[in-house]
A and B are shown apart, each in its own frame.
Chain A
Amino acid sequence: MSKSYYDPSDLRKFGEITEWSEELGKKFFDYYGSIFEEGALSAREKSLIALAVAHVVKCPYCIDAYTKDGLERGITKEEMMEAVHAGAAIESGATLVHGVQMMNKYKKLSM
C-alpha cells in the first residue's frame, strides 16, 4: 500500500469501488454519467462547475480530472481560473457571511 494518502494513479481505479458494492457503485456511475451529458446546461458549462466545486471540496483527483476535461473541451486557462475564483468567492463568502452572526451575538451580549 502506498505510504501517502493521495496517489495520482488511484484515480484510474475509481471504477473499482463498484466491486465491493455493485448496486450502489453502478447507480452512482450511471447518475454521474448522466449529469455530465448535454442538458439544460452544456457539458462545457458543467465541466467548469465541476472544476470550481473540485477546488472547494479540495479533491486532488477531481482537480486533475476536470483540468484535463477542460483541456479536452477547449476550455481556456482563463475560463478555468475564473471558475476557481467563483468557487473561492462562495467559499470565502460563506465564511464572511457568518460575520453577521458574530456581529449579532456581539451586539446582543454588549450593553
Chain B
Amino acid sequence: MSTKSLSARNNELSNPQKQLEYLSEGLFADGELPTFKHKLEKENDFPLQPKPLEILQINLGYMCNQVCSHCHVDAGPDRKEIMTVETMQHCLEAIKKTGAHTLDLTGGAPEMNPNFRWFVEEASKAGIKDFIVRSNLTIIVANKKYYDLPEFFKKHNVHVVSSLPFYKREKTDKQRGKGVFDKSIQALQMLNAVGYGKEGSGLKLDLVYNPSGAFLPKDQDAMESDFKTALKEDFDIEFNSLFAITNLPISRFLEYLIASENYEDYMYELVNAYNPAAVQNVMCRNTLSVSWDGWLYDCDFNQMLELKVNSSVKHISNYDEDAIQNRNIIISQHCYGCTAGAGSSCQGTVA
C-alpha cells in the first residue's frame, strides 16, 4: 500500500481529466455497457435535477493523517489544500441564507484544519442545528491537541460519522494502514466514554462500512447487526447506525481497480446492479458540495473530478441558492456507484 497520494506520486490519475477519459472509454465507448446518461434517459430521469436542498457538505481540506487505499479524495499528509478563514467566512454567509438543515463537514481529516473548531462554533451561532463531522477516528488519538475532540463534539452536539471498514483488524489495516484498527477502536472507546453511541445520550455516532476490495456492499442491516455484535463482544463499543457505502471508481480506488485488473468486472457489476429507485434519492439531489477553495459541486465525487456545478453561480462567495437549485446535475459513469443495489450516499443506502 502506498503511503503517498496520487498527486504526490505524479500519477496520471491525479488528473481528473484522465479519470473522466477512463470512465468514458473502453466498455462505454464501444457500447458494451450503457452510459449513465443512457440509463437515466431510459427511465425518463434525464436530466437529473435537484430536490429541495437539505445538506450543505463542506470539504475543509484534503489534508489527512491517513492514506487509505480506496480514498476518492486522494487525501493524505502530503496534501496541503485546506480551507482558509476567508472561504469559511463566505461559507458562514451562505449558511445564514441556506434552506439546508444540515451542515456536513468532511475532508481529508476536517479536524486538521486549524480553524475547524472556530468554524463549528461560528456555524453553530449562525443557526446550524444539525452538524455532521466525518471523522477518520485515528485523528482523535494522533496528537494530544486532538484528545479532547470527543468533548468538543459533545459540546456542540455534533453528529459523528466515522469510517471503520470492518470490525476485524486485518481488513481495516489493509485498507487504511497498519495500526489504524487499534487506534480506531481506542477513539471509539473515547467517544463512547463521553456518551456517543449510548442509548438516551442524544449523541449520535454512526459508522461507515465500505468494502475493502472490488465488490459491492450487500445488506446494510445485516452488516450493521454483525458490526454491533462483534464490536460489543470484542471491545464493548456501541454505536447507532451503520452506513454501507459503495466505493466509486474514481481516484485511488480507480487506480486499485485498474492495477488489480478488476475495473471491467466492477463496472459490469455496478451497471448490472443499477436501481432506478435509488436514482430518486441520490445525494446530489439534496446535497451541495463545497470544496476547500469555495467552488460548488453536485457532490464530493464531482468535486474530486473537478466538475463544477452547471449554474451561473459556481462559487460560495456569490452564493445564490435559487440560482444553484435551478440546474442540471453533471453525471458520468462514476455515478453508477450511487445507484447500484440499494444505492449509496454519504448517509448510506437510499433505496
A positions within 8 Å CB-CB of B: 9, 12, 42-44, 68-69, 71-74, 76
Contacts and interface: CB of A to CB of B under 8 A. Distances in A.
Given A71-B213, A74-B166, A74-B223, A12 B268 contact: yes
Contacts of A9: 264-265
Interface of B: 166, 168, 209, 211, 213, 215-219, 222-223, 226, 264-265, 268, 272
Contacts of B219: 43, 73
B168 A72 contact: no
B222 A73 contact: yes
Contacts of B209: 74
Nearest to B272: A12
Contacts of B268: 12
Given A44-B222, A71-B211, A76 B168 contact: yes
A69 B215 CA distance: 8
6 contacts: A12-B268, A43-B222, A71-B215, A73-B218, A73-B219, A74-B209
Nearest to A44: B222
B168 to A, nearest CB: 7
A103 to B, nearest CB: 46
A72 B222 contact: no
Contacts of B213: 71
A73 B226 CA distance: 10
A37 to B, nearest CB: 11
A96 B21 CA distance: 58
A74 B244 CA distance: 11
Nearest to B213: A71
Contacts of A44: 222
Contacts of A73: 218-219, 222-223
A82 to B, nearest CB: 15
A88 B279 CA distance: 44
A48 to B, nearest CB: 14
Contacts of A43: 219, 222
A102 B226 CA distance: 47
